Each structure stands twice: as C-alpha cells, then as structure tokens.
Amino acid sequence: MEATNKEGLLDANCAYTLDEFQARLSLGRHAWRTARRKGLKVRRVGGRGYVLGADALEWLRGHPVERK
C-alpha cells in the first residue's frame, strides 16, 4: 500500500519518512522536538529516520482528549 501525502492521515500499516510525518501532522520544528522528547518512536534504517504509523497512532492515543 502506497501512502499518499494527505495532511492529518496516518495508516497503521505504513512507514513514513520524518519529513512526510511532520508534513502530515503539520508539525513545526518545536512541536517535532517536543514529540520526540515525549516518546514518539523513530526507527533508523540506513541512516534515514522513519515513523511507523502504528507507533504514531499509539503515541497520539496517549494524549488527552480535548473537550470543548
């Protein structure tokens, strides 16, 4: 399955380059560094970094739900 560059969408069965992951979630530099410090897993293969969709969704589930 090929991932398309759709903002805000993550597939648990895909791996995302760091640039693609940041673009999908609209993360700036500060938010990206904070995510890494708060436990977002990055996998390294051949000197490149990837975020697994399943890891990202698990990380997101660990954040509180905002209620208005």
pLDDT digits (tens, 9 = 90+) for 12-54: 999 999 999 999 999 999 999 999 999 999 999 999 999 999 9
Are 41 and 55 a contacting pair, CB within 8 Å?
A: yes
Does the residue 66 lie in any domain?
Answer: no
Does the residue 48 lie in any domain?
Answer: yes
pTM comes to: 0.80
- Rounded-to-integer distance, Cα 25 and Cα 1, Å: 20
Does the residue 3 lie in any domain?
Answer: no
Instruction: Look up the domain containing 53 and give its range.
Output: 15-61
Does the residue 50 lie in any domain?
Answer: yes
How many independent structural domains does the chain possess?
Answer: 1
